[in-house]
C-alpha cells in the first residue's frame, strides 16, 4: 500500500454544487448537477451533485444498493439521467447525437463487476475488442480476425503492464479470477481512455489480490493522467488509496470530502442498518 501522491482535492469538494463551475482552466472530467435516475418507477439515484477534475481519483463508498453502480453508469454515459444534467468533458450527455455519444463512450474505460469478457476468446481478442468503438465495421472485422502486428504489440504491452503479459494467447476462461479481472482492465486501457471507471473491482477476488489491483489501477491512472472513479464496498481499502471519498446511501450522495476529513461517525452512519428503512421509504416513488 502506498500513500497517494495526489494532494487532497480541495478545489472541487461539492459542499456547494456550483462552486466547481467558476475559476477552472478546462471542463471538469465529470459534472453532475442534480442528476437523478428512476428505474421503472424506483429512484436509483436522486439529486446527485458531483464534479471530478481530469486526472483526479475518487472512490464511491456505501452499502450495496446505495446507487454506486447507477452513478458509475451515468459517468460512463451508459445511462441518461431522468432529471438534472450530466456533463462529461464539458458536454451534456443528453444533447449528444448518437455518433458523438459513441465517440465519447469509446474514450471511457469501464471495468464491469462481472467483467463481461468473452470466455471462449483468447485474451488478445478480448483486449482488442476494446478498440471496436473507434472503427467502422469492415476495419473491426480485420482487426479482430487478422490483427496487425502493431495492434498485437500494443495489446501485449498493456497486458505486460497489468501483470499478465504471458497470457496473451491463452483462452480467457483458462485464467484465474484475478487474471481475468486484469484482462478486463487491459481491455478498458486498450480503449486509450481519458477516464477509467471500475465497478466493485474487489468483490470477486480475495483481499490481498484486491489490494494489489487497486494499487495497480491507481498507479496506472496516475502515470497516464486518467480520471479514476472506483466504487468500493471495502471502506479501508478506499481510505488507503483515495484522497477523496464520495459516500452514497439510499440513492443519495451523503458526503463528498477529502478522505482525511471523513470522520468515523459519517462512515458509521453510512453503513448502519438503523435509519435504512427511512431512506428506503423516501426512495419509493
Partner 1 sequence: MSKPRVPTEPAPRPFPISPRIAVAISIVLAGLVAWLAIDAPLAKLVPSEGGLDVARRFFARALSPALDYESEVPAGTPHILLQALTAARRTLVFAAAGMSAALVLGVVLGFLSTTAWWSGDLTGGASPARRFFARTVGPAIWATARILIVGMRSVHELLWAVLFLAAFGLNTAAAVAAIAIPYGGTLAKIFAEMVEEAPRDAANALRGAGAGPLQVFVFGLVPRAAPDLAAYSFYRFECAVRSAAVLGFFGFPTLGYAIAQSFENLHYGEVWTYLYALIALVVALELWSSTLRRRFVA
Binding site for partner 1 (CB under 8 A): 76, 78, 96-99, 101-110, 112, 114-118, 120-121, 129-130, 132-134, 137, 140-141, 144, 187-188, 191, 280-282, 284-285
Closer CB to partner 1, 103 or 268, in the complex = 103
Q: How far is the CB of 75 from partner 1 (least distance, A)?
A: 11
Q: Which is nearer to partner 1, 4 or 170 (CB)?
A: 170
Smallest distance, partner 1 to C-beta of residue 27, A: 20
- Angle CA 162–109–9, to nearest 5: 90
**Residue 56 backbone phi and psi in degrees, to 5:** -80, 155
Residue with cell 481519458: 194
Toward partner 1, which CB reaches closer, 7 or 136?
136
Reported as type and span, the H/E element at residue 257 is strand 252-258
Q: How many CB atoms lie within 10 A of CB 15?
A: 9
Helices (H), the chain: 68-75, 98-106, 123-128, 137-145, 149-161, 177-190, 207-224, 235-241, 264-271, 276-283
CB of 186 to partner 1, least distance (A): 13
Contact of 198 with 231, CB cutoff 8 Å = yes
Nearer CB in complex with partner 1: 24/102: 102
DSSP 11: T
Which residue, 61 or 108, has its beta carbon nearer to partner 1?
A: 108
- Name the minimum Å distance from CB 67 to partner 1: 18
Q: Residue 182 Cβ, how far from partner 1 at the closest point, in Å?
A: 15
Q: Which is nearer to partner 1, 130 or 250 (CB)?
A: 130
Q: Which is nearer to partner 1, 209 or 283 (CB)?
A: 283
Q: Supply the minimum distance, in Å, between the C-beta of residue 267 and partner 1.
A: 27
CA 139, 98, 57, 237 torsion: positive or negative? negative
Q: Which of 186, 177, 173, 194 is nearest to 217 (CA)?
A: 186
CA angle 103–105–107, rounded 5-degree value: 80
Taking each helix axis as running N to C, give the angle between helix 177-190 and helix 149-161, from 0 to 180 degrees, rounded to the nearest 10. Answer: 130
Q: How far is the CB of 258 from partner 1 (least distance, A)?
A: 30
Amino acid at each position: 500500500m502506498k500513500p497517494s501522491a495526489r494532494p487532497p482535492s480541495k478545489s472541487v469538494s461539492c459542499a456547494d454544487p456550483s462552486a466547481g463551475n467558476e475559476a477552472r482552466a478546462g471542463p471538469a472530467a465529470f459534472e453532475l448537477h442534480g442528476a437523478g435516475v428512476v428505474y421503472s418507477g424506483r429512484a436509483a439515484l436522486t439529486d446527485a451533485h458531483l464534479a471530478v477534475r481530469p486526472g483526479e481519483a475518487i472512490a464511491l463508498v456505501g452499502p450495496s444498493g446505495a446507487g454506486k453502480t447507477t452513478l458509475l453508469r451515468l459517468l460512463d454515459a451508459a445511462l441518461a439521467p431522468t432529471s438534472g444534467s450530466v456533463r462529461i468533458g464539458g458536454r451534456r450527455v443528453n444533447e449528444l447525437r448518437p455518433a458523438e455519444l459513441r465517440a465519447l463512450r469509446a474514450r471511457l474505460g469501464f471495468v464491469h463487476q462481472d467483467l463481461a469478457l468473452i470466455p471462449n476468446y483468447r485474451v488478445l481478442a478480448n483486449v482488442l475488442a476494446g478498440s471496436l468503438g473507434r472503427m467502422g465495421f469492415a476495419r473491426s472485422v480485420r482487426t479482430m480476425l487478422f490483427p496487425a502486428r502493431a495492434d498485437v504489440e500494443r495489446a501485449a504491452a498493456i497486458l505486460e503492464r497489468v501483470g499478465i503479459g504471458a497470457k496473451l494467447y491463452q483462452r480467457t476462461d483458462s485464467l484465474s479470477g484475478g487474471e481475468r479481472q486484469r484482462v478486463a482492465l487491459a481491455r478498458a486501457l486498450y480503449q486509450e481512455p481519458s477516464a477509467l471507471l471500475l465497478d466493485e473491482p474487489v468483490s470477486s477476488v480475495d483481499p490481498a489480490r484486491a489490494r494489489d489491483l487497486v494499487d495497480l489501477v491507481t498507479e496506472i491512472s496516475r502515470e497516464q493522467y486518467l480520471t479514476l472513479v472506483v466504487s468500493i464496498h471495502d471502506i479501508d481499502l478506499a481510505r488507503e488509496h483515495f484522497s477523496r471519498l464520495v459516500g452514497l446511501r439510499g440513492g443519495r450522495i451523503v458526503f463528498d470530502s477529502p478522505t482525511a476529513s471523513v470522520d468515523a461517525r459519517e462512515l458509521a452512519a453510512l453503513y448502519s442498518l438503523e435509519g435504512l428503512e427511512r431512506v428506503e421509504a423516501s426512495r419509493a416513488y
